[in-house]
Amino acid sequence: MGLPLEGIKVLDLSRMAPGPFCTMVLADLGADVLKVEEVGLSGRRAAVKGAEKGAGWLNRTEKDCAYDAMGRNKRSISLNLKNDAAREIFYKLARTADVIVEEFRPGVVKRLGVDYETIKKINPEIIYLSVTGYGQTGPYRSMVGHDLNYISLAGAQGTIGTPNGDHAIPWNFIADFAGGGLTAAVAVLSALVGRQATGKGSYVDVAMADGVVYLMASMFEEYYKTGDIPDRGKGRLDGGDPRYSIYRTRDDKYIAISSLEPWFYQGLCQAMGLEHLSEFDAFGQQDRRVREELEKAFRTRTRDEWFEILSRVDTCVGKVYSLDEVASDPQVQAREMIIDLQHPTAGKVRQVGVPFKFEGEAPGLRRFAPLNGENTEEVLESLGYSLEQVEKLREEGAVK
């Protein structure tokens, strides 16, 4: 079976989390993603001691590439887009590309001469995606930021914390990967469908902050309906309800229960020998007593023992895993969400699997992540450059 995006060509100018995650999705779905990478650091980054070491996309080792999920199924060419000859190479690639992805600050691609207005004159059918923190418009458009800044602006950080009111800072899944990368991938796929109908390309502006606000649609719905602002750690879905919470077990591991519906909660109580709690007041009049009894009960068995008991009844339960445990779970194994691969030099490596199943099968790994500029020569040859011309471009610093 062919992959859904076979034949789609993507030029990927992105570096940090949201862009590479977006193009990982496209590559996993079959797109031919060509990473357009820097030849070397320049400007203030080059002046910072140790900056080269921190620029992982520039000095990837073969071992890095073996484990690099966001670089898999992609190729790499190194171009110095400040060089006229390198920029001409980019234009040649853009003529037959379907999608361009970039995540520079607004205005940077225009200064480099690879902005949408320039490219659409070369290829009117191009879909050009810009994914940034705050988007291409608005007073914050030029501000720098990271995940924490975007989830704070969107109101998400204001809802995450402990019952005493302290904030809990999450990993960067929310803005970088969901609000940014995944939202961007959906936008690109939508634009590709739209192009089938119109024959025209389009410019797509995705802001991570916008994406987080979008993810919070149901929470804003409740707020605008009732006017109530949730207290951190005290809500129904963030630990305030003892039926939807995490408990420590005898072996100092943790188990998660989310038996909010009366029938699920009753099943939990019966399986744990706590039938006297099954008439729990859904409005929280007995919260403290229920939490205390559940805490005491869960400490009498190990996490896995409780899961074995509770997974047999109609209630909502799950083990709280550390990263080293995930691959051993039978459900994760059945869905092939952690996969073992054989790298030619690094040997056996593990990566996350692909969540999309087509006819019951997930797209596989077609190639490991490339070294920086690994495919420069083959790409240039496909554009008609001779080996002598490629070497001259290298000498001029146009390519790596």
Name the residues annotated as catalytic: 146, 176
What span, in angstroms and rounded, lies between the C-alpha atoms of 338 and 354? 9
What span, in angstroms and rounded, lies between the C-alpha atoms of 221 and 232? 18
What span, in angstroms and rounded, lies between the C-alpha atoms of 295 and 92? 64
From the list 51, 91, 38, the residue with the least C-alpha distance to 400 is 38
From the list 164, 171, 190, 149, the residue with the least C-alpha distance to 22 is 190
Burial environment of residue 362 by CB neighbours within 10 A (0 to 12, 13 to 18, 19 or more): middle
What span, in angstroms and rounded, lies between the C-alpha atoms of 342 and 60? 18
From the list 144, 163, 146, 258, the residue with the least C-alpha distance to 212 is 146
Q: Which two tokens stand for residue 342?
A: 């054989």
Report yes or no: 250 and 299 within 8 Å, Cβ to Cβ. yes
From the list 46, 197, 27, the residue with the least C-alpha distance to 101 is 27
Give the β-pairing of 244-248 and 99-102. unpaired
What span, in angstroms and rounded, lies between the C-alpha atoms of 217 and 194? 25
The label of the residue with tokens 């691959």 reads: 327
Which residues 6+ apart lie within 8 Å of 70 measured at CB? 17, 20, 21, 23, 24, 369
